Amino acid sequence: MKITFLELEDNYAKVLFENTTPYFVNAIRRTLISDVPKLAIENVTIYDNTSALFDEIIAHRLGMIPLPTHLDLLVFREECSCNGKGCPNCTVHYTLSKEGSCTVYSGDLRPEDAMWAVKDKNIPIVKLLKDQRLILEAEAQLGTGKQHAKWQAVCGIGYKYYPVIEIDSEKCNLCNECVEICPRKVLEIKKKKLDVKNVEECILCKSCEEVCKRDAIKVKGDENRIIMQYETDGSLSAKEVLMEALKILHKKYDELEKKL
Amino acid sequence: MIIPVRCFTCGKVLGSLFEEYKKRVYIEGENPKKVLDDLKIRRYCCRRTIISHPVFVKGKEVKEPIDEAAQYE
Ligand SMILES: [Zn+2]
Ligand SMILES: [Zn+2]
């Protein structure tokens, strides 16, 4: 199997898998969604809240803020040597204290150590008017997407077969209808010949196939080449998250092999 | 209400992006499509969450429903 990053940003990746099968790529996808651990706020102690939002709404909003996750430094709380009481190996503490009038942002969460500081500092949590106050303490711990969506490191993940567009230039009469109907503008007419401009953009909708009266176009998906696309919420980078998923999958297959 | 932290459907973080969207679309009058593309909001679930969030434009100030609610608390 060959893996190539077609596009790679901090929080976004488009990956091409070659010589593979849909079952395998789907296993990776499901591991990414439900098994990769990340850090999120789980317990919130509110000391004072005179804002317009209820304590529960504020706690809920805090839970969804992506926190930087250093997986080598943390263990799951249930598996920790502290027996779930909470210690520096399994729990990260944050404090927040603000008085209006102002907007409370995610960047106002003060971590116990600078390395846990929230990267995305501009997420509004609540707005405070003059004399309104918000004072709280939050505990973050590791979890997986299986337990709750706030612990899901990736979002908008999906894959498609690699598009294969076959054009029969003998049948084609350059009517231009397929070029116009394509929602991704994949086709073009160049030097009196129908050509494919950017195959990877094709979403296999087959509108061009349907609109062609002379059957000159065939769109197929190659099951052995798969393009996967995903974003992360920023707690882990796009590359880290894929590496972690592959590690987890590897461990699972190992366990299965041992039990056989 | 206040802008959701994440997209209801896919979970992408939108809270931090809305600040810029608000400024560019409601104050500077840019085309929403262009701003959404610039912010790399690719899916239509996230796009609808942003464009359908209600705001009141009062001169140079863009207010959300929470700003109104806060006064009566
Ligand atoms: Zn512990
Ligand atoms: Zn979305």
pLDDT in tens, A2-59: 999 999 999 999 999 999 999 999 999 999 999 999 999 999 999 999 988 999 999 9
The average confidence (pLDDT) of chain A is: 93
Q: CA of A69, closest CA in chain B: separation in Å? A: 16
Count structural domains, chain B.
1
Instruction: Locate the chain A residue with the closest alpha carbon to B13.
Output: A233
Per-residue pLDDT, averaged over A157-186, amounts to 90
Place of tokens 């039990």: A259
Give yes or no for a contact between A138 and B17, defined as CB atoms under 8 angstroms apart.
no
Do A14 and A54 have their domain in common?
no
Q: Ligand 1 centroid vs A99 CA: distance in angstroms?
A: 33
Q: What percent of chain B has pLDDT over 90?
A: 66
pLDDT band at B48 (very low <50, low <70, confident <90, very high): very high
Do A217 and A200 have their domain in common?
yes
Give yes or no for a contact between A66 and A235, defined as CB atoms under 8 angstroms apart.
yes
Alpha carbons B10 and A245: distance in angstroms, whole number: 19
Do A81 and A146 have their domain in common?
yes
pLDDT for B72 equals 61
Quick check: is B32 in a domain? yes
What is the tens place of the pLDDT at every residue in A45-64?
A: 999 999 889 999 999 999 99
Do A74 and A130 have their domain in common?
yes
pLDDT for A85 equals 87
Give yes or no for a contact between A184 and A196, defined as CB atoms under 8 angstroms apart.
no
In chain B, the DSSP E strands lie at 56-58, 61-63
pLDDT for A202 equals 92
Global confidence as pTM: 0.88
Domain span including residue B23: 15-72
pLDDT for A237 equals 94
B33-37 long-range contacts, Cβ below 8 Å, gap at least 24? none
Quick check: is A257 in a domain? no
pLDDT band at B70 (very low <50, low <70, confident <90, very high): low
Residues of A in contact with B70 (CB under 8 A): 51-52, 127-129, 132
pLDDT for B71 equals 63
Give yes or no for a contact between A93 and A141, defined as CB atoms under 8 angstroms apart.
no
Q: Is the pLDDT of residue A134 over 90?
A: yes
Domain span including residue A128: 38-151
Count structural domains, chain A.
2
Quick check: is B45 in a domain? yes
Contact between chains at B5 and A52 (C-beta distance less than 8 A): no
Quick check: is B28 in a domain? yes
Quick check: is A184 in a domain? yes
Q: Is the pLDDT of residue B73 over 60?
A: no
Q: Is the pLDDT of residue A100 over 90?
A: no
Between residues 13 and 72 of chain B, which touch chain A (CB distance below 8 Å)? 13, 15-16, 18-19, 40, 42-43, 64, 66-67, 69-71
DSSP bridge partners of A226: A17, A161
